[in-house]
Amino acid sequence: MKINSVLVLLTIFFISCEDRNYVPKPPTYLKINLPERSYAVYNDECNFSFNKPSYFKVNSAEQNSCNKDIILEGLDGTLHLSVIDIDTTLGMYINHANDKVGDHKIKATAIIDSTIIRKEDRVFGTFFELQGNVASPFQFYVTDSTDRFFSGVVYFNTRPNYDSIKPTLNFVKKDLIEFMKTVKWED
């Protein structure tokens, strides 16, 4: 009887020591229905143009103003575009734009900047991607360096949870870069 009990205990011991390989599950996101992406040239009455994605709905922010609130239809976000005629030094405008990015350093885990230089079209600017739980994940400025300065800030109408909105951010980022690569001044 003792031998049977020992054999049963040894069998249970060896079965319980079975090597199991656990594979971690990859990160998942909620399914997001992103809008179709197609571009058309948008010509503004304020003498500039750019390749506009089909889901950008351009509205004037103020009456008789070149400032725009571009609604990101289907994504519950807005691109606020300030169009400024340069009447002082360019450095003041660039410093102000950089200070606005700096305001988010408290919450940002990283700030990645990309420079856009298109000498043939007189387009110069910087695109900022702010990673982490920040209020505005994208900010940028574009200028012709003498007369015009555009400042853009993107806001989403949701709590800033970077991991949750990352697929949407990746989608929108491509179109903001397209804006910067295609904006032209109409003289």
How many residues are listed for the chain in this entry? 187
- The pLDDT tens digits for 102-152 are 888 888 899 999 999 999 999 999 999 999 999 899 999 999 989 999 999
Say how many domains are in the chain: 1
pLDDT band at 28 (very low <50, low <70, confident <90, very high): low
DSSP symbol at 67: -
Q: What pLDDT score was predicted for residue 61?
A: 76
d(CA 86, CA 130): 26
Would 34 be classed as within a structural domain? yes
Q: What pLDDT score was predicted for residue 187?
A: 73
Would 16 be classed as within a structural domain? no
The residue written with tokens 């996101």 in the block is: 29
Would 119 be classed as within a structural domain? yes
Domain containing residue 57: CATH number: 3.40.1000
pLDDT band at 30 (very low <50, low <70, confident <90, very high): low
- The pTM of the full predicted model, rounded to 2 decimals, is 0.79
Pairing of strands 68-72, 77-85: antiparallel
Q: Which domain, by its residues, includes 112?
A: 30-185
